[in-house]
Amino acid sequence: MDRTDIRLPVAEVALPPLCSLVRRDTVRLIPSGRLKPAVLAPLAATERALDDLAELEGATNGRIQACETGLADLDPRELVFGRPNDSFVNAAFTHVRPGGNRFNDTGRGAWYCGWDAATSLGEVAYHLTRELDAIDRYDTHVDYAELVADFIGPFHDLREAAAATTGYADVLTEEVGPAYAQGQALARRLRTAGSNGLVYPSVRWAGGVCLVAFRPSLVQNLRQGGLWRLTWAGNRTPGIASLA
């Protein structure tokens, strides 16, 4: 049998190889509205009143609660505080979408980013287009801001073509359900082994490279980058323009 036909469960194959990573200026995209002043600010006459309102909101804010109590697989002591933009780092690990993502389940989040803006824009455009597919209407625009970060250290690496013969090809497909189940199983196994995270080929942007970091402290030198607008004008392919 050709080895490329072999598909062992993720739990039974060798761990991906390690690479010694020094990568600066990776890009994570977030809706630009998250960078605006607190939505409670117009309701408060003074800074003290704003603090009181924020405390009241925090009583029902899932992300803030997770920062204090953690999640099923996230100890709040892992979160970072006292750093520039630390709230964005913590949000990535405490605000988890239903069902999780490719390399995290609902027990904890992870930091996903692209090697560059083009990769991240391709990833975001794919997912937003899928949402528009559900209503069959492509007439909108959204603005996204770059969060730029650096990463240094050993990361497991899925970029090699040999990954297709070791069982890991199944985590890099567009089939969200099966691929996410395999990817989440791999992530749990890697975290148990003390892994920092994974470098992997982008599934949504040909030739792109993505990184997922498993721990908040790995996100270094976080700062805001450029602004982008994605515009759908009647078809599935958005126009992309820099707002910088």
**Residue numbers in the chain where pLDDT is lower than 50:** 1-8, 39-40, 43-44, 50, 53-54, 56-60
The pLDDT assigned to 53 comes to: 42
Residue 73 vs residues 83, 169, 236: alpha-carbon distances, Å:
23, 26, 37
Domain assignment of residue 47, yes or no: no
Domain assignment of residue 128, yes or no: yes
- Terminal CA-CA length for the chain: 54
Query: Residue ranges of the alpha helices (H) in the chain?
Result: 47-58, 62-69, 86-94, 117-135, 176-192
Instruction: Give 30's strand partners.
Output: 145
- Taking alpha carbons only, the member of 240, 238, 217 closest to residue 229 is 240
The pLDDT assigned to 33 comes to: 79
Domain assignment of residue 97, yes or no: yes
Enter the pTM of the model.
0.83
Structure tokens belonging to residue 81: 């505080």
Domain assignment of residue 173, yes or no: yes
What is the DSSP secondary structure assignment for residue 36, as one 8-state letter? S
Cβ contacts of 91 within 8 Å, gap of 6 or more? 63
What is the distance between the alpha carbons of residues 210 and 219, in angstroms, rounded to a whole number? Answer: 14
Strand 197-201 vs strand 239-242: parallel, antiparallel, or unpaired? unpaired
Domain assignment of residue 189, yes or no: yes
Domain assignment of residue 234, yes or no: yes
Contact (CB, 8 A) for 123 and 102: no
Q: Which domain holds residue 199?
A: 3-36+81-242
The pLDDT assigned to 8 comes to: 47
Domain assignment of residue 60, yes or no: no
Cβ contacts of 134 within 8 Å, gap of 6 or more? none
Tally of structural domains, the chain = 1
Domain assignment of residue 56, yes or no: no
Contact (CB, 8 A) for 123 and 28: no
